Amino acid sequence: MELLSTPDGFIPNYKCHIQNNLIAVIGGPSSIEFLDMATIMTAYKFVQVAYSSAPETNSTMQSHFFYWMLPKVDHQYHGLLQLFLHFGWTWIGILYLNVGNIAENLLRNVIPMFSRSGICFEFIEKISNGFLSEDEKTMHASYNILSVVLKSTTKIVMFLGGFQSVLNLRALLRISEYNDMPYNPKVWFMTAEVDFSSVPFQRYWDLNFIHGSMTLAIHSKQVSAFQKFVQMRSPVLDKEDGFLIQFWQQMFNCLLQSSIADKEDDNICTGEEKLETLPASVFETSMTAHSYSIYNAVYAIAHALHTMYYFQGQQRTMMRENLLSQQSWMLHRFLQSISFNNSAGEKIYFDQNGELLGGLDIINWITSSNQTFLRKIVGKIDPWATTNKHLIIYEHDVVWPSLFNQEQPVSLCNEKCNPGYRKAKIEGQSFCCYNCTRCPEGKITNQIDLDDCFQCSEDEYPNNKQDLCMAKDISYLAYEEPLGTTLVTLALVLSFITILVLGIFRKYHNTPIIKANNRSLSYTLLLSLLLSFLCSLLFIGQPMKVTCLLRQTSFGMIFTVAVSCMLAKTITVVFAFMATKPGSRMRTWVGKTLSLSIVLSCSFIQFLLCTVWLATSPPFPDMDNHSFISEIIVECNEGSVVMFYSVLSFMGFLAIVSFIAAFLARKLPDTFQETKSITFSMLIFCSVWLSFVPAYMSTKGKYMVAVEIFSLLASSTGLLACVFSPKCYIIIMRPHLNKKEHLIKRII
């Protein structure tokens, strides 16, 4: 109000006589108090520059006349959030001084923003400005708040308040020293509004509470010669500076001789004391961030004023003063567009909202035993940078509180869930507090603290720790593996034996034992057995389109021919015996025509089934990702399961009919006991394939293929052994039995 009145005459809104013209007002560091004064200042349209952050609620009217030397406080909270997330801190506390609209901003913006990013609060406590009073109720409330803060498990505490709020924090922590309260170590984090300050009675208090803590500060540089200028200040040289005299006496805890009557007082200031000898907790000779903001504010106004003078042209001094007194609002237009480099070499300019475009430094406080400290820059926050450059932190330069043994603290509600585990919520507690539960079988987590487990892709499977997806092996019955090699060798050996038997039959083609049992059926049966042994090779190796089309259909056709030959042999023997009876009409049926008809008709039916199968839903190569956890089975999908089992069923029907016929005819007088051999061979055949069905259904992958190959080889070997081994034995070992005389003798 005095600024708006005549000197020495407090008359609001009235100025007369010689007067100084008010051009601009620089205020701070509290934005709330500055806005209170601005209620009057704005009416006069004075330029108002605050070395504080713009409040959240900055009206349109005020924004035209206000300029802010610190980034908006929301940018600072966002920077702190990024810092916490960078270090992995999700469990923090908030202690704030009831200043301005801090509480409102916390509830409206800060807490929701932090919560959305996965950060929880163990406590949010408020201390009042008057908690140092001797009022018992206030002291008791302060003690309870301190107890909550110091006993909390979090290692990270945001302390929010005004410029001199550290006074309150320092005093509050002093209570714990007097009462020996349990103290869990904390790292204090503060916004740029808060700076270190103290009062005389705190002069000798320990500074260790702030060691390792961090504060945001407007980005600043040391101004050339500023420190030297401060160190040259002296009440002896600046006798008319009343403020300097009071300051000097307070800093050095003494009295200047001109201020006391007793000249013999021991505690007398000479005025020659050196400011640089004071510990930093009492006075800092270097320019702090707040001082740097004031410095830039003064020069911004000076540059704007200079530009306005230049714009107005060369005018007489009185005319300029009159112009300024009446049109000081014109300075706004020049300040809005001002841009200059200060003496530290930094560019200073404002955005359209009147906020200084500048970043923030992350200050790490390092204290020493001689009541001094160092402000060490360990990072930067640039609210206007791209996302990946918003935060820069030099982790190796950070000094942590002594109680953490120079190791980065961990601030979590509980230990993180390792890969292979997932978070399980605890009823009634914050979402940052949880138990760790093992992932269910078949699922994994490959990162720390995942909310849920997930399945690997179809071509991968979880490892034993369930923290990694591993590529599945491609599995099929290969020629190179022992099982495949064994089956191939067995198939080739049996094929060679079949060829050997076929050679023996060909050599002794005209002997009675071969003639007596229908040579054509024997040769057809031997050829089908040879093909059946070779057919097993189609089942080995990686399934291809051609092999999938051929393997089951070839197997069905070849075995149908073999079984129909056995049926034809049995029926031929039965009809031959019945034809020997006098007057029997069966003689017309005995011969090659009957056996050929049986073989062709049965084979034709199977051929039709296979043709329909291939025409409607043919087999094709497929991959089974689910039968085995660690393998992908490359197999032949049968296409139509109905047609597959139809082919097998028809073949089984022929085998059962052949077995029944041979069993009923086993006692007929047969020279070389053909019916008995057929009975045993079909018994083996049926037993093998009846066992095949459950074995085939209960296995997967290459073992399923191996079961089918084994059944194929076993049944074919049974036919070869039972039908042809007795004949080969007689031909090779008992040739005297392979004569016509012996045959006639046995018939008689």
State pLDDT tens for residues 212-248: 999 999 888 888 888 888 888 888 887 777 788 888 8
Which residue in the block uniquely carries the two structure tokens 């093909």?
531
- Structural domain includes residue 164: yes
Per-residue pLDDT, 748: 46
- pLDDT confidence bin for 743, thresholds 50/70/90: low
- pLDDT confidence bin for 527, thresholds 50/70/90: very high
354 compared with 9, residue with greater pLDDT: 354
Domain match, 235 and 151 both: no
The answer to whether the beta carbons of residues 518 and 595 sit under 8 Å apart is yes
DSSP alpha helices (H): ranges in 519-591?
A: 519-535, 545-579
Q: Rounded to whole angstroms, how far apart are CA atoms 79 and 53?
A: 14
Quote the DSSP letter at residue 65. T
Q: What percent of the chain has pLDDT over 70?
A: 85
Which residue in the block uniquely carries the two structure tokens 């085939």?
696
SS3 call for 362: strand
Beta strands in 638-705 (DSSP E): none
- The answer, yes or no, to whether residue 745 has pLDDT greater than 60, is no
- pLDDT confidence bin for 672, thresholds 50/70/90: very low
Domain match, 264 and 174 both: no
Its domain, for residue 552, covers: 482-745
Question: Positive or negative CA dihedral for 311, 313, 316, 322?
Answer: negative
Condensed to tens digits (0 to 9), the pLDDT of residues 602-614 reads 999 999 999 999 9
Per-residue pLDDT, 184: 83
Per-residue pLDDT, 517: 65
Among the candidates 349, 369, 404, a domain finishes at 404
Please compute the mean of the pLDDT values over residues 492-502 and round it to a whole number: 92
- Structural domain includes residue 65: no
- pLDDT confidence bin for 7, thresholds 50/70/90: low
Residue 44 burial (CB count, 10 A): 15
Condensed to tens digits (0 to 9), the pLDDT of residues 472-488 reads 888 888 898 999 999 99
The number of folded domains in the chain is: 4
Domain match, 207 and 140 both: yes
CB within 8 A of 649, min separation 6: which ones?
none
Q: Rounded to whole angstroms, how far apart are CA atoms 55 and 71?
A: 10
Bridge partners (DSSP) of residue 189 are: 158, 214
- The answer, yes or no, to whether residue 61 has pLDDT greater than 60, is no
Quote the DSSP letter at residue 417. P
Amino acid at 198: S
The token duo for 255 is 């009295």
Domain match, 425 and 492 both: no
Domain match, 379 and 430 both: no
Domain match, 237 and 175 both: no
Q: Rounded to whole angstroms, how far apart are CA atoms 648 and 655?
A: 11
Condensed to tens digits (0 to 9), the pLDDT of residues 170-190 reads 878 877 777 777 778 899 999
- pLDDT confidence bin for 747, thresholds 50/70/90: very low
CB within 8 A of 566, min separation 6: which ones?
525, 655, 658, 662, 678, 681, 682, 719, 723
- pLDDT confidence bin for 403, thresholds 50/70/90: confident
115 compared with 310, residue with greater pLDDT: 115
Per-residue pLDDT, 682: 82
Per-residue pLDDT, 702: 85
Domain match, 391 and 457 both: no
- The answer, yes or no, to whether residue 316 has pLDDT greater than 70, is no
Please compute the mean of the pLDDT values over residues 721-740 and round it to a whole number: 80
Condensed to tens digits (0 to 9), the pLDDT of residues 420-469 reads 999 998 888 888 889 999 999 889 999 988 889 999 888 888 998 999 99
- Structural domain includes residue 659: yes
Domain match, 132 and 215 both: yes
- Of all helices (H) and strands (E), which one includes residue 49? strand 47-53
The answer to whether the beta carbons of residues 56 and 119 sit under 8 Å apart is no
Least confident segment among 51-55, 107-111, 418-422, 642-646? 51-55
- pLDDT confidence bin for 135, thresholds 50/70/90: low
Per-residue pLDDT, 9: 66
Distinct helix (H) and strand (E) counts, the chain: 22, 24
Condensed to tens digits (0 to 9), the pLDDT of residues 75-100 reads 889 999 999 999 989 999 999 887 77
- Structural domain includes residue 393: yes
Please compute the mean of the pLDDT values over residues 505-515 and round it to a whole number: 81
370 compared with 643, residue with greater pLDDT: 643
Domain match, 430 and 376 both: no
Domain at 694, CATH number:
1.20.1070.10
